[in-house]
Chains A and B, each alone.
Chain A
């Protein structure tokens, strides 16, 4: 889909090239993350793809076509672009911001309107609420969402994203990342993603291109990068705790089937039955759900010692925090550590119980892999 051949960039007045002789091929539908320390040429490389920077050497092929011979305006209109500080236009409403590319392409008004609503919903912004607002009235996370929506509105096959989730707090960032991956699963865009955060790279990517001082050091899948770093630079970058980093690679849904042992108890289940169930197994607690399978709480062995009532609902205590099944195992681990529990309940978007992941499950995954 995107092929960079011997790509080089020397900025005027500099003797050292910002990018030198870079060869990289990105398959259709893949997320390729360019990662490396600042000044390594990753952003420069990205900006050459939509020709915000003109390469001083080499070639760029997009779907086999030489991008350097295309009209740069046409090229850019078909490449979604999200930058670090988002660059929303402060004088335009959210709707007008998102409609930028359709307006440049002279789409009919109603088609633009419909498409804008569609992408707003897709990124989780209610069009009715946010349509007429100005960027100044939005939170950081909401602005990032607008930035992504604006880049996706004309359905470009390729997207360039320069630290798109850089300017928000870690919790919002994790949520935006998960949302974005969910969207990407459906859209299957070819994405070039720049970040300096190796954890983000491992989480978001199909392939990772590690760069240093303008050169490509290694291009591999995250799993290969973790197990076989090309040199010391890469292994330093991924760090010593590679097994833990592996937890970024696996989503909870992938292991949920293997780990799900006990059925949750319903709210109105008899306490005696739960007691028996707990005694017969080595499990120390059981989740309680209501009739709609929504998570109500948890009953531990110690909870049952007091006498509170007849049914499970009377005994259960609230769970501190939950994760969704598209979160990574690393997210699950963070929640466990934060709550000081050895397990975390997994729910879907409607708060319905999906299963439970324990610390032991995570250990098993790490063991299997290494």
Chain B
């Protein structure tokens, strides 16, 4: 049991440890008074909180809408639209995240909510596409066997299609989360807060240590979340 927990939490704990060590060292050994003022525990915790807020709200919304939309588009009646959507999403993903934020700033103005909304829209794309592709990729003969044995369409969706598509849907979630953590550092440009605050502040006062702190925490967050989702997936998918 102890070994099991260590296997799960070993790498995350080491990564958090490294990030914490860097933060503690930087805060306690400021190069000058500017760094001392700009890089405090209070500030670090605040931007982490903000960043997690951006992430949590936008990802929750994107997961619900992306998975739900992907399921709907995979139904026979909407399937044609789904195929078109795949192309649209692929084009949509080529738009840089900074451009997306800028676009919503011009339409909706500044603030946390606008940043969340922009991140939400940007994260839907990979989730929606992967959900659709995952369900679409379930072999036809499997569906036919299920229908022929008398399973209802809703049961086929929940018992057959979604479980088989699950690894692909999760791959979409992982992509979205990694993009989202990175893109959320840009939220600071439209007043959304988050780890980007540290980076932008560091840039404006020419203090690399502050930039470095923001970047390390963001990177660790992305790697950690990706790792944990991967581990959960491993537990759930035992058949592949």
Interface residues of chain A, those whose CB is within 8 Å of chain B, are 47, 50, 52, 73-79, 81, 83-92, 100-101, 104, 134, 136, 150-151, 160
Contact (Cβ within 8 A) A73 B152 = yes
Partner of B149, one of A84, A90, A92, A100: A100
A-B contact pairs, 16 of them (CB 8 A): A75-B150, A79-B150, A81-B145, A83-B144, A85-B141, A87-B141, A89-B142, A89-B145, A89-B164, A90-B142, A90-B164, A90-B239, A90-B240, A91-B239, A101-B150, A134-B238
Query: Is B65 close to A, CB under 8 A?
Result: no
What 8 pairs across the A-B complex have the smallest Cβ distances?
A87-B145, A76-B150, A77-B150, A81-B148, A87-B141, A85-B141, A134-B239, A91-B239
Chain A residues with Cβ below 8 Å from B166 are 91
Query: Is B30 close to A, CB under 8 A?
Result: no
Contact (Cβ within 8 A) B160 A76 = no
Chain A residues with Cβ below 8 Å from B12 are none
Query: Is B110 close to A, CB under 8 A?
Result: no
Rounded to whole angstroms, the CA-CA distance of A93 and B78 in the bound complex is 32
Residue of B nearest to A137 (CB): B239
Chain B residues with Cβ below 8 Å from A75 are 150
Contact (Cβ within 8 A) B145 A86 = yes
Q: How far is the CB of B228 from chain A (nearest CB, A)?
A: 22
Rounded to whole angstroms, the CA-CA distance of A115 and B150 in the bound complex is 18
Q: How far is the CB of A64 from chain B (nearest CB, A)?
A: 21
The 0/1 profile, CB within 8 Å of A marked 1, for residues 130-168 of chain B is: 000000000101101111111110010000100110100
Contact (Cβ within 8 A) A87 B151 = no
Using A90-B239, A91-B164, A92-B239 as known contacts, say yes or no to A104 and B150 having CB atoms under 8 A apart.
yes
Chain A residues with Cβ below 8 Å from B146 are 87, 89, 100
Rounded to whole angstroms, the CA-CA distance of A79 and B166 in the bound complex is 30
Chain A residues with Cβ below 8 Å from B151 are 100, 104
Chain A residues with Cβ below 8 Å from B160 are 89
Q: How far is the CB of B78 from chain A (nearest CB, A)?
A: 19
Chain A residues with Cβ below 8 Å from B147 are 52, 76
Given A91-B164, A92-B239, A150-B149; 19 other pairs, CB 8 A cutoff: A52-B144, A73-B150, A76-B148, A81-B148, A81-B149, A83-B144, A83-B148, A85-B139, A86-B141, A87-B145, A88-B142, A89-B164, A90-B142, A90-B240, A91-B163, A104-B149, A104-B151, A134-B239, A151-B149
Rounded to whole angstroms, the CA-CA distance of A151 and B148 in the bound complex is 10
Rounded to whole angstroms, the CA-CA distance of A100 and B239 in the bound complex is 17
Chain A residues with Cβ below 8 Å from B238 are 134
Chain B residues with Cβ below 8 Å from A92 are 239
Contact (Cβ within 8 A) A76 B149 = yes
Chain B residues with Cβ below 8 Å from A52 are 144, 147-148
Chain B residues with Cβ below 8 Å from A50 are 148
Interface residues of B in 96-155 (CB under 8 A from A): 139, 141-142, 144-152, 155
Rounded to whole angstroms, the CA-CA distance of A256 and B163 in the bound complex is 53
Q: How far is the CB of A26 from chain B (nearest CB, A)?
A: 18
Rounded to whole angstroms, the CA-CA distance of A265 and B231 in the bound complex is 66
Rounded to whole angstroms, the CA-CA distance of A77 and B152 in the bound complex is 10
Rounded to whole angstroms, the CA-CA distance of A77 and B146 in the bound complex is 10
Chain A CB within 10 A, most for which of B147, B150, B240: B150
Chain B CB within 10 A, most for which of A76, A86, A87, A88: A87
Chain B residues with Cβ below 8 Å from A77 are 149-150
Q: How far is the CB of B106 from chain A (nearest CB, A)?
A: 46
Residue of B nearest to A47 (CB): B148
Rounded to whole angstroms, the CA-CA distance of A78 and B139 in the bound complex is 24
Residue of A nearest to B166 (CB): A91
Rounded to whole angstroms, the CA-CA distance of A147 and B147 in the bound complex is 14
Chain B residues with Cβ below 8 Å from A79 are 150
Chain A CB within 10 A, most for which of B147, B148, B151: B148
Rounded to whole angstroms, the CA-CA distance of A87 and B139 in the bound complex is 8
Chain A residues with Cβ below 8 Å from B155 are 104
Residue of B nearest to A75 (CB): B150
The 0/1 profile, CB within 8 Å of A marked 1, for residues 25-68 of chain B is: 00000000000000000000000000000000000000000000
Residue of A nearest to B163 (CB): A91
Q: How far is the CB of B131 from chain A (nearest CB, A)?
A: 16
Rounded to whole angstroms, the CA-CA distance of A100 and B151 in the bound complex is 9
Rounded to whole angstroms, the CA-CA distance of A160 and B147 in the bound complex is 13
Rounded to whole angstroms, the CA-CA distance of A50 and B240 in the bound complex is 31
Q: How far is the CB of A366 from chain B (nearest CB, A)?
A: 40
Rounded to whole angstroms, the CA-CA distance of A145 and B147 in the bound complex is 20
Rounded to whole angstroms, the CA-CA distance of A150 and B139 in the bound complex is 18
Rounded to whole angstroms, the CA-CA distance of A73 and B146 in the bound complex is 11
Rounded to whole angstroms, the CA-CA distance of A160 and B145 in the bound complex is 11
Rounded to whole angstroms, the CA-CA distance of A136 and B164 in the bound complex is 13
Rounded to whole angstroms, the CA-CA distance of A52 and B145 in the bound complex is 10
Rounded to whole angstroms, the CA-CA distance of A92 and B240 in the bound complex is 10
Rounded to whole angstroms, the CA-CA distance of A136 and B240 in the bound complex is 8
Contact (Cβ within 8 A) B141 A101 = no
Residue of A nearest to B148 (CB): A81
Chain B CB within 10 A, most for which of A73, A85, A86, A91: A91
Q: How far is the CB of A51 from chain B (nearest CB, A)?
A: 10
Chain A CB within 10 A, most for which of B155, B166, B237: B155
